[in-house]
Chain A
Amino acid sequence: MKTGFSVFVAAFVAFGASWLGLVYGPLKQLGVAKETTVLQLGDKWPVQRTGAATLGLQVYRGNGCAACHTEQVHQTGAANVISITDLGSHKSSDLKDFITSLMVVPELMNCSNAITGNLAGWNGELPKVLYCGAQDTVVSLLGDKLKAVGVKTEPRVIATGTDIARGWGTRQSVAADYLYDSPVQLGNLRAGPDLATIGIRAPDLNWQLQHLYAPRSVVKDSTMPAFRYLFTVQKIGTLPAPDALVLPKDFAPADGYEVVPTPAAKELAAYLVSLKNNAPLYEAPFTPITAAK
């Protein structure tokens, strides 16, 4: 290299391209994002947090909760599901024979084993999942055929994947979910469970507070450190404090003392309860159970 100038220019172009692609591009695409709407209902999404929960995000940030918890649900795919919700005037055994007879239809032949397998050992319990797979034609065809004989069915779209199977959410997390978070706390280690829907799984503020004070008092083999410094242990006055924790004996303080959450602990609990990424969106669709009823 006689001159370093060409090397410098090339490096500058390389860095500039990366900056344009991974900083400027996302800023233009996502940085101006606005609220989106929930499918079918048309409600605004995401929902603005309450004041306490907004403060709680800062407690979450300050204590580095994201070092062990993620706030992002992954899904590996989606499936079309059809289940029988009402037998009408038919008996389950007759219906089984009827559905088995449908398997000669060309569209259903590929998945006949799966459907007959689902029906094996069925004694008429409802709802009964008939088919769960990728093909929506199977779902619509089965629905039409069964509707013609007066059997009610319910078609649904569900997300699939380990996180969904663990009950950590009904769909994957998408960019729209984090619109009101600052800082966005996605996390990159699951030393503890994912928290994207902890507000649905554990909506009780008192449970959250007790879990923060003494994790093993509610989850037996939890590895979470206790956050006792977010609480004050004080002598019980003439009346016990209204927000004192009700703790099991092994975890309770000495007699005559009570555990009272600090404002920070209450805000953190409010934030955790506010984490509910469960609305069906255009980019992450699913059929909510409540909507179909």
Chain B
Amino acid sequence: MNPTENKTICSSEIDVSCRVPLLALFGGAALWLVLGLALGIAAMLSFHKPDMFADCPVLNYGHAQAAANDLLLYGFVIPAALGVILWIFARLSQSPLALPIVPVVAANLWHVGVLVGTISILLGYSTGHPWLEYPRGASVLLFTAFLLVAVSAVATMGFRLNRELYPSHWFLFAALLWFVWSYGTANLFLVCNHPPRGVVQAVIDWWLTNNLLFVWLALAGVGIAFYFLPKIAGKPLASSGYALFGFFTLVFFGAWVGIPSGAPVPAWLPTVSAFAALLSIIPVFALGIIARKTVWGANVTCFGGPFCFIRFGMLSFVAANLLYLGEFCPRASRVLDFTWFNVGVTQWQLLGFAGMILCGAIYEILPRVMNKELPFTKLAKLNFFLFAGGTLLFVIPLLIGGVEQGMKLRDAAVPFADASAVALKFLRISTTGQLLVLLGALCLLLNILVMTIQWKLGLVKCVIAAVTAPLKTSEVKS
């Protein structure tokens, strides 16, 4: 099925059915993105001035960093991706969103969950498992909300007029399924009264981390890119068969990555992960090449528009994930383990790949859904340059600093303090990048916020107009 054929007469009707759920999901996501980046900067301040938050437990590094990471993933990436998935499914089905009230409720539940989780972490009630820090109350809310959105999305998919599935369907449907499965599993085992004994906890947490940061982001991000790229380029996806190959290799190999090679677990676990990481290079390249071939030769003028976002996102997808998989190579991991390299790669995956593609998609979707232009088109373009420059400035110093730190850590003759000090100067540059990304996120928030307010004012005006309109004579009782 060619998505360019989707513009049917009822496309505006489809867009209107998505309006409220998408505003609820995107608005909250943008707000959490801004908050998450601000918290991330606050966390890094501890490295510039160690005693900054010595009397302020809420913002100490251990609290702020975990909260900031979770805000980026659970606050921004997942709800924004869910919104885009709903819209894409409705468009691909050529039918309005099924059960439109369900995702609205879900969006609010989700945002409450993120709020509860963030406050809990800042107050010291984190579960202590990386990327699963939200305590039980918050994670139950998130899980329920995700299920509700998934129900609406799958119902919309079920109503599709054309029974044939488009590649985005596979990726996004698998993303819905896999999040429920992996997040549910991890919470059942780790955030319960009787967690399993010993180091299994860490194994399950590594499994979840990999499935969220690598597999889930890849499924959602690539699925979204495969919908928009052919539309923007005006050419069909090149090709569905290759996409199927990329999809299968991703889910079969990617889901086995995640156990670091030096981990204190039986040796078969890291060995399996190292092999899976080697094989996962195949889908990363395959999906990247498909995206490249799809837009190859297409004449798209793009100056900070959605196409730029998605193109940058796909480039980041290949680059960041190759670095990520490289970390599981035993030789590389001896240098890169426990350094800032890993932090840099994760932020690249979250902001450079998923964040970029989602921002592009949001800027593409919002004007259609609201049936009016973005209030600040120039800010939207500025957002791209701030995000692209900021992400690179944020991530690349961390990568280089991580390698240098790793080399020094590896040499027992170098005192530990020197190895840490090497990283510090890179952290200073990377905080500048973080600030740029934050400014970009403010552009996104401003656009969504003003659009929402304009829409609400319009609603109020409608109501006032309806109330104050002079009665028709026919309605007046004689």
Chain A residues close to B by CB (< 8 Å): 1-4, 7-8, 10-12, 14-15, 17-19, 21-23, 26-27, 29-33, 61-68, 70, 72, 74, 76, 162, 165-166, 172-193, 215-216, 219, 221-229
A189 to B347, CA, bound (A): 14
A186 to B216, CA, bound (A): 24
Q: Which DSSP category, helix, strand, loop or mixed, fits chain A's interface?
A: loop
| A175 & B127 in contact (Cβ 8 Å cutoff) | no
With both chains docked as a complex, state the minimum distance between the C-beta of A186 and any C-beta of chain B, in angstroms: 5
Query: Besides A11-B247, A178-B202, A188-B338, 12 other CB < 8 A contacts?
Result: A10-B248, A15-B174, A15-B177, A15-B181, A61-B127, A64-B121, A186-B199, A188-B260, A223-B47, A225-B46, A225-B54, A229-B60
Residues of A within 8 A of B121 (CB): 64
Q: Which of B60, B411, B420 contacts A192 (CB 8 A)?
A: B420
Would you call B338 and A26 a contact (CB within 8 A)?
Answer: no
Using a CB–CB cutoff of 8 Å, the interface residues on chain B facing chain A are 46-47, 50-57, 60-63, 65-66, 121, 124-130, 163-165, 169-170, 173-174, 177-178, 181-182, 185, 189-190, 195-204, 207, 211, 240, 244, 247-248, 251-252, 255-256, 258-260, 262-266, 269, 272, 334, 337-340, 342-343, 409-412, 416-417, 420-421, 423-424
Separation of A23 and B251 alpha carbons in the complex (Å): 16
| In contact, A225 and B60 (Cβ under 8 angstroms) | yes
CB distance from A187 to the nearest CB of B (A): 8
- Give the CA-CA distance A190 to B339 in the complex, in Å: 6
Q: A14-B248, A183-B190, A215-B50 are in contact. Are A23 and B185 (CB under 8 A)?
A: yes
Closest A residue by C-beta to B267:
A283
For B338, the chain A residues whose CB sits under 8 A away are: 70, 187-190
Residues A7 and B204 in contact, CB atoms below 8 Å apart: no
Tell me whether A166 and B416 are in contact in the complex, defined as CB-CB below 8 angstroms, given that A1-B165, A7-B244 are known contacts: yes
Q: In the complex, what distance in Å separates the CA atom of A21 from the CA atom of B269?
A: 9
Interface centre among A17, A174, A193, A229 (most CB of B within 10 A): A229
A15-B181, A22-B258 in contact; A62/B339 too (CB < 8 A)? no
Decide: A162 near B411, CB < 8 A? Known: A15-B177, A223-B420.
Answer: yes
CB distance from A175 to the nearest CB of B (A): 4
For the complex, what is the distance from the CA of A185 to the CA of B260, rounded to whole Å? 15
- Residues in B whose Cβ lies below 8 Å from that of A185: 128
- Main SS class of interface, B: helix
Closest-CB distance, A84 to chain B (whole angstroms) = 25
Chain A CB within 10 Å, residue with most, of B199, B202, B343: B199
Chain B min CB distance to A65 (Å) = 6
A8, B248: Cβ atoms under 8 Å? no
Closest to A179 in B: B198
CA–CA, A226 and B50, complex, Å: 7
Residue in A17, A221, A225 whose beta carbon sits within 8 Å of that of B51 in the complex: A225
Chain B nearest CB from A30 CB (Å) reads: 5
CB pair A74 B337 closer than 8 Å: yes
Is there an interface contact between B266 and A29, defined as CB atoms closer than 8 Å? yes
A216 to B49, CA, bound (A): 12
Cβ-defined contact, B173 with A8, below 8 A: yes
Task: Report whether A26 and B204 are in contact in the complex, using a CB–CB cutoff of 8 Å.
Answer: yes
**Complex partner residue of A23 from B47, B174, B204, B421, CB under 8 angstroms:** B204
Contacts of B340 in A (CB 8 A): 189
Sample 16 A-B pairs with CB under 8 A, ordered by A number: A15-B177, A22-B207, A22-B255, A22-B256, A63-B57, A64-B61, A76-B334, A175-B199, A178-B198, A183-B190, A183-B195, A185-B128, A190-B338, A225-B46, A227-B60, A229-B57
Among B182, B195, B260, which residue has its beta carbon within 8 angstroms of that of A182? B195
CA distance A198 to B382 in the complex (A): 49
Which one of A27, A61, A192 contacts B196 once the chains associate, using CB atoms below 8 Å?
A27
A166 near B264 with CB under 8 A, answer no
B66 and A64 form a contact (CB under 8 A) = yes
* Least distance between A173 CB and chain B CB atoms (Å): 4
A229-B202 Cα distance, complex, nearest whole Å: 29
Q: Are A30 and B125 in contact (CB under 8 A)?
A: no
A133: shortest Cβ distance to chain B, in Å?
18
Query: Do A18 and B256 contact each other (CB < 8 Å), given the known contacts A67-B65, A178-B264?
Result: yes
Pairs A-B, 10 closest by C-beta atoms? A64-B62, A18-B255, A165-B412, A61-B128, A62-B124, A183-B128, A226-B54, A190-B338, A14-B251, A173-B264
Q: Is the beta-carbon distance between B203 and A30 smaller than 8 angstroms?
A: yes
**B251 and A64 form a contact (CB under 8 A):** no
> With contacts A74-B262, A76-B334, A165-B412 known, is A175 near B198, CB below 8 A?
yes
Q: How far is the CB of B125 from chain A (nearest CB, A)?
A: 7
CA A225 to CA B43, docked complex, whole Å: 11
Distance from B408 Cβ to chain A, minimum over Cβ atoms (Å): 10
Query: Distance in Å from the Cβ of A206 to the closest Cβ of chain B?
Result: 19
A222 touches B126 (CB 8 A): no
Closest to A180 in B: B198
Question: Is A30 a contact of B61 with CB atoms below 8 Å?
Answer: no
Q: Which residues of B contact A162 (CB under 8 A)?
A: 409-412
Given contacts A63-B62, A68-B62, contact A223 B195 (CB under 8 A): no
Name the one of A4, A188, A224 contacting B130, with C-beta atoms under 8 angstroms: A188
Q: How far is the CB of A274 from chain B (nearest CB, A)?
A: 16
